[in-house]
Amino acid sequence: MELDRVLPAYDFRSRFTRRIAADPPTVWQALRELSGAELPVSRRLLMLRSVGRSRLDGPLLDTFPTPTLVTVEGEELVKGKVAKFWRLQPELAPIPPGDAAAYTEFAEPGWAKAAMSLRVIPDGDTTVVAFETRVQGTDARARQAFRAYWLLIRLGGATFIRLEVLGAVARRAERAAAGTPA
């Protein structure tokens, strides 16, 4: 699992899964084609958090405001960034966006490393999609600052976003598997 390679140790974690009645290639395609327009709650929450600066217009994986670190086509996509997320306007760490090596090696105190993985897992006649988020503080102060933010976002929307994404992927993939247009 690429997430284990990118962020093997973490202080905070959430993991949601959804079993989908479609084969892995169909589910992966649905994930790749999923549009922000199919995620009304996520769009609103992201606009609120970014004070209108971020919009989910177009394919979700291209427009989601976290850089892609690793893609194993058909299996797993990992996005991640290092920031001070707990600030009203999060400050990004001085590393190139999407540089998996720079992300993995970053250890400067005072930051949080967040990574999200979407995995497509074959399971008999179905497919399980796992949406996992991990966060590691680079020191005790960062962990403490992030802890309050983590509680706030878990209650205020992060869970809804993950569940909405999994539901939309399932609807899109199951329609495709049944031969119904998306």
Range of the domain at 81: 2-176
- Residue 124, in any domain of the structure: yes
CA dihedral 22, 24, 27, 33 (to 10 degrees): -140
- CATH number where 120 lies: 3.30.530
- Residue 181, in any domain of the structure: no
Question: Which pTM value belongs to this model?
Answer: 0.89
- Residue 153, in any domain of the structure: yes
Segment (H or E) for 122? strand 112-123
- Domains in the chain: how many in total? 1
- Residue 182, in any domain of the structure: no
Mean pLDDT by 10 residues, the chain (182 residues): 97 97 97 84 64 59 83 96 92 96 98 97 97 98 95 81 92 92 64
3-state secondary structure 2-34: HHHHHCCCCCEEEEEEEEECCCHHHHHHHHHHC
- Residue 34, in any domain of the structure: yes
- Distance set, CA 1 to CA 45, 90, 130, 131 (Å): 29, 28, 11, 13
pLDDT value, residue 100 = 97
- Residue 160, in any domain of the structure: yes
